[in-house]
Copies of this chain bind each other. A is one copy, B any other.
Amino acid sequence: MNSSHDQIQKESLRKRLHDIIFEADTPAGKVFDIVLLVLIGLSVFAVLIDSVMPIHEKYGDELFLAEWMFTILFSIEYILRIYTVSKPRKYIFSFYGLIDLLAILPTYLSLLFTGTQYLLVIRMLRLLRVFRVLKLARFVGASEMLGIAMKNSRHKIIVFLEVVVTMVVIMGSLMYLIEGPDNGFTSIPISIYWAIVTLTTVGYGDIAPQTFIGQTLASVIMIIGYAIIAVPTGIISVEMAKVSQPVNTQVCRNCGHKRHDDDAVFCKICGEPL
């Protein structure tokens, strides 16, 4: 009985830990989420500044220490997640589970191999957890709406991207013929890269047409790129307008139809007064 009591206590602890780590409903859960976010932010910041040579030379040792500290903390978190979750296997192979593991592996691997330190950059991916953690009521609606609008417009966006890709391949190939290797268009892939840089109006200027015909074609690409940005914008605006339209929550008592217009007086399906 004692052992059963222990078991129950253990279960209850596991349950409570699970709620703290995975949920954000309780005060403790909220504190955990905020602390985790701050730690992720700090660890990302440490990786960031450690890549700056003068800082690495001056504070390399402190940052090395910080790196191990973050790794140990994240390892504890990782083990607790596996321990408290009901289906560990599912968590481990989930998107966030893999990122959580990849974020701590490089430090341990650096004990065995040299040069794995570069892999620490993977830790940046933990920033994505912001989207899981920041499930505050205020932002859920906003991000859900954005998500739905994006999802609804995906077919049109794919058609648009197809047109863009076909266009840059053909335009890039043409520019390779027109300008040639002497003017910086050393190969078709490079020319396609230039066409993307131009069509998206980025315009680095590392490669730029030199001949008159090349500059004329480039002008055409620029004006096309300038004008067709209107297409994805139009697509997403329309979808957003649809998603953001207030939905009437009236339900017909007779047939149960749910989507009524705001000015409806009778059910449009069965004729019952609303």
Interface hit among A8-16, A68-76, A78-86, A261-269: A261-269
Asked if residues B261 and A261 are in contact (CB atoms below 8 Å), the reply is yes
CA of A176 to CA of B120, assembled, Å:
12
- Knowing A164-B223, A188-B48, A203-B204 are in contact, say whether A267-B266 is a contact too (CB < 8 A): yes
- Knowing A200-B225, A205-B204, A233-B233 are in contact, say whether A271-B269 is a contact too (CB < 8 A): no
Interface residue A244 (Cβ < 8 Å from any Cβ of B): yes
A253: which B residues are within 8 A, CB to CB? none
Encode A8-30 as 1/0 by CB contact (under 8 A) with B.
Answer: 00000000000000000000000
Asked if residues A255 and B268 are in contact (CB atoms below 8 Å), the reply is no
Interface residue A173 (Cβ < 8 Å from any Cβ of B): yes
Interface residue A197 (Cβ < 8 Å from any Cβ of B): yes
CA of A216 to CA of B261, assembled, Å:
47
Report the minimum CB–CB distance from A236 to chain B (whole Å).
4
Contact of A237 among B230, B256, B261 (CB under 8 A): B230
- Knowing A124-B169, A139-B159, A273-B271 are in contact, say whether A223-B196 is a contact too (CB < 8 A): yes
Give the residue name and chain of the B residue nearest to A181 (CB). B53
Asked if residues A233 and B222 are in contact (CB atoms below 8 Å), the reply is no
Interface residue A125 (Cβ < 8 Å from any Cβ of B): yes
Interface residue A65 (Cβ < 8 Å from any Cβ of B): no
Report the minimum CB–CB distance from A106 to chain B (whole Å).
12
Interface residues of A in 159-187 (CB under 8 A from B): 159-162, 164, 166, 169-170, 173-174, 176-177, 181, 186-187
Q: Which of A157, A169, A236 has the most chain B CB atoms closer than 10 A to its own CB?
A: A236
Asked if residues A170 and B124 are in contact (CB atoms below 8 Å), the reply is yes
Encode A26-37 as 1/0 by CB contact (under 8 A) with B.
Answer: 000000000000
Asked if residues A266 and B265 are in contact (CB atoms below 8 Å), the reply is no
Interface residue A42 (Cβ < 8 Å from any Cβ of B): no
Asked if residues A160 and B188 are in contact (CB atoms below 8 Å), the reply is no
The 7 A-B pairs with the shortest beta carbon distances in the complex, nearest first, are A266-B271, A202-B203, A204-B205, A264-B268, A142-B155, A200-B226, A234-B236
